[in-house]
Amino acid sequence: MKRLDVKATLVMDFIHVLEYLWKAAWCFFDKGDETVEQWIADRAVNLLNGQCSQVAKGLRSSATKRKISDRDAVDKCANYLLKNKTRLQYGEALASGFPIASGVIEGACRHLINDRLDITGARWSLEGAESILKLRSLKSSGDFESYW
C-alpha cells in the first residue's frame, strides 16, 4: 500500500459524543423529566465551544455532590471526553468548514462508493476501483472538465 505524507484533522462524531452525554444525563434525571433536554443543550454548547475538560469536571463534581451511587455512565462520559479532547475541537472544525457529524461522510461514501462498486455481480481490482472512484469524485465535485 502506498503511504502519503498527508496531515489529517480527526474530529469525533458529535452525535456519538452526545450519546455518551445522554447516558450520563440519566444518572441525574428521572426518566421522562423534560428538563434533561436543556441540561444536554447547555453541555452540548460547552462542548462545541471547546470546553470538554470543564464538562467532564462538572459531570464528576455534580455526581459527587449529589452522592449518586450508580455513576458508571457519568464516569464513562467524563473519561471519554478527557481521553478524546484533542478530537473534540468542534469550534475549529466548524470554522475550517469540516463536518462534525459523520452523516455527511456516510452519505458521500454511499453516493460515491457503494452506489457504484456495490452492485450485483461486480468484481473490482483495487486498481480498477481506485480509478473509477477518482473519476466519480471528479464528476461529483464538478471538477471533471478542468481535470482534462
Three cell numbers written together for 77: 462520559
Could you tell me the pTM of the whole model? Answer: 0.73
* CA–CA dist 72, 60 (Å, integer): 10
* CA–CA dist 43, 129 (Å, integer): 43
pLDDT recorded at residue 13? 95
Q: Where are the domains of the chain?
A: 14-95, 103-147
pLDDT digits (tens, 9 = 90+) for 14-30: 999 999 999 999 999 99
Whether the Cβ atoms of residue 31 and residue 120 lie closer than 8 Å to each other: no
Radius of gyration of the chain, Cα coordinates, nearest whole angstrom = 21
Task: Using a pLDDT cut of 90, give the percent of the chain over it.
Answer: 60
> Helices 36-48 and 52-65: crossing angle, nearest 10°?
150
